[in-house]
Amino acid sequence: MLSNRVQNVEASPTLALAAKAKALAKEGKPVINFTAGEPDFPTPEHVKKAGIEAIQNNRTRYTPVGGTPEFKQAVVDLLNKDLGAQYSAANVMINCGAKHTLYNIFQAVCNDGDEVIIISPYWVSYPDMVKLAGGKPVIVAADEEQGFIPDPKTLEAAITSKTKVIVLNSPSNPTGALMDAVTLKGIAELAKKHKLLVVTDEIYNELVYAPAKHVSILHVAPELVDQTIWVGGVSKTYAMTGWRIGYAAGPQEIIGAMTRIQSHSTSNPTSISQDAALAAITGNQDEVDQHRLEFQKRRDRLVQGLNAIPGITCPTPAGAFYAWVNVSALGDSAKISEQWLDEVYVATVPGEGFGCPGWVRFSFATSMEIIDEGIKRLEAWVTERAQKV
């Protein structure tokens, strides 16, 4: 009964693991959950209020497919300021989360067999989204030694006559790596030389820890604007994962095609969420700064604690809220992650789903108490295991 297309698609492993951890917790098990892909802070009060007011003021009908004019204009203004771009409303559209933005992009640009370069470790959804659009994911590994920053020369070696798109994600989920200006310039040159479309997923752009600074490919190569689609949203920056608002900026032709696709799937993103997201991006940004500082403290505690455990190494991520942890000295990452959950109720996501076995992802979008307790349990687990061997 199923289409060939869907038979090649896996369920998101991160969502599956988060669900397993939640189910165990519901059974009363003392689960320490490091799987979260979302901030644990509440949505800021003024943003919630804008959502409530949207309901009270009956802003509860269909909006234009690509978003309300007010919110689109706010995104245009934000990006023109941040990127120094000159987008107009026709270059921008609003979607039901950045995941939906990316889904629409691949549907709009992939022909059967078109190759899409994805850098590993990658966010779990890119390859499956490309496959669902008929494209072929081509995975290029970024090495640990280079801090998981891809080498433009290695990327160029993967380019064929069928390559159409290259996907960038900085800061990265799962590694937290931040692409530097030199690398981005190198990639921009490749994109120009081989006429590639650049999809730059910058959903974590506001979660970068000083002294590191976020750089977009459009900062270093503004001339690439006609072959770049910029992707972002409010989920991570404003603790708004459940509101489902993401957005894209890019060439009118592609935004127009994405809008046509969206008109036959979700129609508009929720009217109420758009009003709330408008308040988020145009309102007071103090909470964003507070969250960033808190995440940085948690990152430091988690990274330090994990590195003190024999057999585990963990580079310091520059952005996002994930620690990317090398457990290869302990054994198979999928097995280790499973044992941690089953034996000491510590939930993590193994690297296999990110195209990088040997590693495990820990989210630090959780409290200091949880981080300390998780580290304590893993220390005890490793010690006990060493005694058995």
Interface positions, 245-264, toward ligand PLP (CB under 6 A): 246
> Counting contacts by CB under 6 A, is residue 169 touching ligand PLP?
yes
Q: Which of 40, 114, 201, 275 binds ligand PLP (CB under 6 A)?
A: 201
Nearer to ligand PLP, 243 or 340 (CB): 243
Contacts of 316 (CB under 8 A, 6+ apart): 299, 300, 303
SS (H, E, C) the chain: CCCHHHHCCCCCHHHHHHHHHHHHHHCCCCCEECCCCCCCCCCCHHHHHHHHHHHHCCCCCCCCCCCCHHHHHHHHHHHHHHHCCCCCHHHEEEECCHHHHHHHHHHHHCCCCCEEEEEECCCCHHHHHHHHCCCEEEEEECCCCCCCCCCHHHHHHCCCCCEEEEEEECCCCCCCCCCCHHHHHHHHHHHHHHCCEEEEECCCCCCECCCCCCCCHHHHCHHHHHHEEEEEECCCCCCCHHHCCEEEECCHHHHHHHHHHHHCCCCCCCHHHHHHHHHHHHCCCHHHHHHHHHHHHHHHHHHHHHHCCCCCECCCCCECCEEEEECCCCCCHHHHHHHHHHHHCEECEEHHHHCCCCEEEEECCCCHHHHHHHHHHHHHHHHHHHHHC
Contacts of the segment 152-157: beta carbons below 8 A, 24+ positions apart: 152/183, 152/186, 152/187, 152/189, 152/190, 155/117, 155/119, 155/187, 155/190, 156/190, 156/194
* Least distance in angstroms from the C-beta of 123 to ligand PLP: 4
Nearer to ligand PLP, 241 or 348 (CB): 241
> Counting contacts by CB under 6 A, is residue 118 touching ligand PLP?
no
Q: Which of 35, 200, 241, 259 binds ligand PLP (CB under 6 A)?
A: 241
Nearer to ligand PLP, 100 or 309 (CB): 100
* Least distance in angstroms from the C-beta of 18 to ligand PLP: 11
> Counting contacts by CB under 6 A, is residue 187 touching ligand PLP?
no
Nearer to ligand PLP, 212 or 382 (CB): 212
Stretch that binds ligand PLP, among 91-99, 107-115, 147-155, 311-319 (CB under 6 A): 91-99
How many CA atoms are closer than 13 Å to the CA of 311, on its beta-carbon side?
Answer: 18
> Counting contacts by CB under 6 A, is residue 363 touching ligand PLP?
no
Residue nearest to ligand PLP (CB): 97
> Counting contacts by CB under 6 A, is residue 127 touching ligand PLP?
no
Q: Which of 21, 32, 98, 371 binds ligand PLP (CB under 6 A)?
A: 98
> Counting contacts by CB under 6 A, is residue 123 touching ligand PLP?
yes
> Counting contacts by CB under 6 A, is residue 63 touching ligand PLP?
no
Nearer to ligand PLP, 159 or 349 (CB): 349
* Least distance in angstroms from the C-beta of 175 to ligand PLP: 11
Q: Which of 18, 34, 36, 37 binds ligand PLP (CB under 6 A)?
A: 37
Q: Which of 39, 44, 67, 97 binds ligand PLP (CB under 6 A)?
A: 97
The phi, psi pair for 346, rounded to 5°, reads -110, 115
Stretch that binds ligand PLP, among 68-76, 233-241, 351-359, 368-376 (CB under 6 A): 233-241
> Counting contacts by CB under 6 A, is residue 39 touching ligand PLP?
no
* Least distance in angstroms from the C-beta of 380 to ligand PLP: 31
> Counting contacts by CB under 6 A, is residue 40 touching ligand PLP?
no
Stretch that binds ligand PLP, among 92-100, 146-154, 192-200, 208-216 (CB under 6 A): 92-100
Positive or negative CA dihedral for 65, 68, 72, 73? positive
> Counting contacts by CB under 6 A, is residue 235 touching ligand PLP?
yes
The answer to whether residues 339 and 378 touch, using CB atoms and an 8 Å cutoff, is no
Stretch that binds ligand PLP, among 4-12, 95-103, 136-144, 380-388 (CB under 6 A): 95-103
* Least distance in angstroms from the C-beta of 125 to ligand PLP: 7
Positions touching ligand PLP (CB under 6 A) are 37, 97-99, 123, 169, 173, 201, 203, 233, 235, 241, 246
